[in-house]
Structure 1
Amino acid sequence: MNTELQSHPKPTRCDAPVVDARVVLLTHYIPIYQLPIYQELSRQIRDFHVLLSTDVEPNRHFQPRWEGLDVTLQKTLTLQRRWRHSAGFDDTLYVHVPYDTGRQLRRLQPDIVLSLELGFRSLASSLHRILHRRSKLILCTYMSQHTEQGRGMMRAAARRWLIGRADAITYNGPSCFDVLSDLGADPKRLFHFPYAANPDSIYTGPLQPSGSPSVTRMLYIGQMTQRKGVEAMVEQVVRYAQQHADQEFQLTMVGEGPLREPLSAVATPANLGIEFTGNLPSEQLPTLMPAHDLLIFPTLADEWGLVVNEALHSGLPVIGSRLAQASTTLLQDDRNGWLYDPRDDSGLADCLDRWLACDVADRASMAGACRDSVRDRTPAFAASGLIDACQFVLGHSTNDRCDD
Structure 2
Amino acid sequence: MRTALIINIPAPYRLPMYEILNQRFGDDFMVIFCANTESNRKWNIDELQFKHVFLKENVRLKKDGFNYVHNNPEVFKVLKKYKPDNVIATGFNPTHLYGWIYTLLYRKNFIPMTDGWLGSEKDLSWVHTLIRKIVFKTSSTYIGASKNSMKLFEAYGIDKDRIFQSALCIHNSKFENDKKFTNRKYHVMYSGQFTERKLPLFFADVVIKLADKIDGFKVLILGSGPLKEELFSKLDAHNIDYDFPGFIAQEELPKFYSESKIFLFTTRMDPWGVVVNEAMASGTPVITTPFAGVVDDLLVNNHNGFAIDIDTDKWVQKTDEILKNEENWKRLSENAKNRVQELNFDNAAQGIIDAIAHIENKN
TM-score per shorter chain, which class?
over 0.9
Alignment-derived partner of residue 277 in structure 1:
245
Alignment-derived partner of residue 31 in structure 2:
50
Sequence identity percentage? 23
Is the 1:251–1:274 contact (alpha carbons within 8 Å) kept by the matching residues of 2?
yes
Alignment of 1:87-236 (within 5 A): 91-133=65-107, 135-199=108-172, 202-205=174-177, 207-211=178-182, 217-236=187-206
3-state DSSP class of the match of 2:312? coil
CA distance in 2, matches of 1:44, 1:296: 38
Is the 1:76–1:100 contact (alpha carbons within 8 Å) kept by the matching residues of 2?
no
Alignment-derived partner of residue 11 in structure 2:
31
CA distance in 1, matches of 2:172, 2:179: 19
CA distance in 1, matches of 2:54, 2:183: 50
Q: What is the root-mean-square deviation in Å for CA atoms of aligned residues?
A: 2.0
Deviation at 1:64, TM superposition (A): 2.9
CA distance in 2, matches of 1:199, 1:209: 18
User: Which of 292, 299, 306 is the aligned partner of 1:324?
Assistant: 292
Question: Partner letter of residue 45 of structure 1?
Answer: F
Q: Which whole-Å deviations, capped at 9, do the CAs of 1:231-266 have from their partners, x for residues lacking one?
A: 111122112213x1x522111111110011111112
Question: Partner letter of residue 362 of structure 1?
Answer: N
Alignment of 1:221-300 (within 5 A): 221-242=191-212, 244=213, 246-266=214-234, 267-270=236-239, 272-300=240-268
Is the 2:187–2:323 contact (alpha carbons within 8 Å) kept by the matching residues of 1?
no
User: Which of 41, 48, 71 is the aligned partner of 1:60?
Assistant: 41
Question: Partner letter of residue 347 of structure 1?
Answer: K
CA distance in 2, matches of 1:138, 1:283: 32
Deviation at 1:187, TM superposition (A): 2.4
CA distance in 2, matches of 1:314, 1:268: 31
Equivalent residues, number: 361
Deviation at 1:378, TM superposition (A): 0.7
- Does residue 347 (structure 1) correspond to residue 317 (structure 2)? The answer is no
3-state DSSP class of the match of 2:243? strand
3-state DSSP class of the match of 1:235? helix
TM-score with structure 1 setting the length: 0.84
Alignment-derived partner of residue 347 in structure 2:
381
CA distance in 1, matches of 2:47, 2:39: 18
Question: Partner letter of residue 394 of structure 1?
Answer: E
Are the structure 2 counterparts of residues 72 and 389 from structure 1 closer, same or farther at C-alpha, using a change threshold of 3 Å?
same
CA distance in 2, matches of 1:23, 1:186: 22
Alignment of 1:332-371 (within 5 A): 332-342=300-310, 344-359=311-326, 361-371=327-337
Task: Select between 181-190 and 380-389 the one with higher mean Cα deviation.
Answer: 181-190
CA distance in 2, matches of 1:198, 1:82: 33
3-state DSSP class of the match of 1:309? helix
Is the 1:228–1:298 contact (alpha carbons within 8 Å) kept by the matching residues of 2?
yes
3-state DSSP class of the match of 2:270? coil
Deviation at 1:288, TM superposition (A): 1.3
Alignment-derived partner of residue 17 in structure 1:
none
Alignment gaps of 5+ in structure 1: 1-20, 84-90, 398-404
Alignment of 1:69-80 (within 5 A): 69-80=50-61
Which structure shows the bigger proportion of residues in helix conformation?
Answer: 2
Are the structure 2 counterparts of residues 378 and 232 from structure 1 closer, same or farther at C-alpha, using a change threshold of 3 Å?
same
3-state DSSP class of the match of 2:245? strand
3-state DSSP class of the match of 1:117? coil
Q: Which whole-Å deviations, capped at 9, do the CAs of 1:281-340 have from their partners, x for residues lacking one?
A: 111122112111111100110000011111111111111221101133222344312221
CA distance in 1, matches of 2:352, 2:276: 22
Question: Partner letter of residue 226 of structure 2?
Answer: P
CA distance in 1, matches of 2:63, 2:131: 20
Are the structure 2 counterparts of residues 212 and 60 from structure 1 closer, same or farther at C-alpha, using a change threshold of 3 Å?
closer
CA distance in 1, matches of 2:32, 2:127: 28
Is the 1:53–1:73 contact (alpha carbons within 8 Å) kept by the matching residues of 2?
yes
Deviation at 1:79, TM superposition (A): 1.9
CA distance in 2, matches of 1:63, 1:290: 21
CA distance in 1, matches of 2:334, 2:206: 28
TM-score with structure 2 setting the length: 0.93
Which structure shows the bigger proportion of residues in strand conformation?
Answer: 1
Question: Partner letter of residue 171 of structure 2?
Answer: N
Alignment gaps of 5+ in structure 2: none
